Amino acid sequence: MRYAIAIPQYYADGSFDPGAFRDYLVRAQEAGFHSAWTQEAVFGKRPQLSPLEAMTFAAACTDTLRLGCTVFVSTLHVPAQLAKSTSSLDQLSRGRLEVGVGSGGKNRPFAAFGMRPERYLARFTEGVELLKRLWTQDSVDHDGEFWQLSGAAITPRPFQKPHPPLWFGGSGPKALRRALDLGTGFFGAGSVPTADFAEQVRFVRAQGDRPDFEIAKRVYIAVEADAARARERVNAELTALYGGLPPAIAAAAIAGTPDDCVRAVREVIDAGAELVLFTPLYDQARHADVIAKEIIPALSVR
């Protein structure tokens, strides 16, 4: 099992504290977390730093902690620019980058990015295929529906060969099949309850053609001595994050005492997660310490 922690991204204008951010990442590295991860949301009511810049700062604060984004909404990115940015960060971090991609669904604000929603899944697939070619090939000729390149090269290419781990988000069978066809792993969303995640894992493993394919799950978590207080706090944060609180999202979050949280995280692991990304939505530094000192050690005891 591997355990990861969320990179702090939520800051009101002018409130970012570089020292506290650095201390958080250093402590996460010293605590033995495998990786630290961001999310992407260009627009939203909750102030959120961009994932690529947050990961770049985190890379400068650490030297062994792996750094990822789950997920880049890659339908809103130009593949060549995303290839260049991620290749550069993988070089700067000496091969510590993990890249997650997702289509984002049909309701994203495509017009704000000069795009149209029609055939967004075709754009997503073509974009991922082109991203991988730019990561790995000396010269790329591409005559696609959405992008055309002739003799294009991204150098330096990623430090990791052939390229950084490529995780896919998504939930339905078609999305999972795309992940198996194009990616190295599937990352279950924090908004998906454990029972639904278990169904996704069963589908992936039933395909039987990718024994090397990895599976991870984001877990929103709140740990308090008072279980009711933990649920109240996490529900408030999820409402702010999602603009509401659908029952499935509330059910997906783990909240309660340390013992409550250990039991719930064990269910996620038993469902098939090989990497668990703990994502506290408040008091992140305190939660990272509690998770490292109380939750993770208890998970190894049955």
Burial-class residue 92 by CB neighbours within 10 Å (0-12, 13-18, 19+): middle
Q: pLDDT per position in the chain (302 positions), as tens?
A: 999 999 999 999 999 999 999 999 999 999 999 999 999 999 988 899 999 999 999 999 999 999 999 999 999 999 999 999 999 999 999 999 999 999 999 999 999 999 999 999 999 999 999 999 999 999 999 999 999 999 999 999 999 999 999 999 999 999 999 999 999 999 999 999 999 999 999 999 999 878 899 999 999 999 999 999 999 999 999 999 999 999 999 999 999 999 999 999 999 999 999 999 999 999 999 999 999 999 999 998 76
Q: pTM higher than 0.95, yes or no? A: yes
Only one residue has tokens 């208890």, namely 298
Q: Of 127, 126, 107, whose CA–CA distance to 43 is shortest?
A: 107
Neighbours of 151 (CB within 10 A): 8
DSSP H helical ranges for 45-192: 51-61, 79-92, 120-136, 173-182
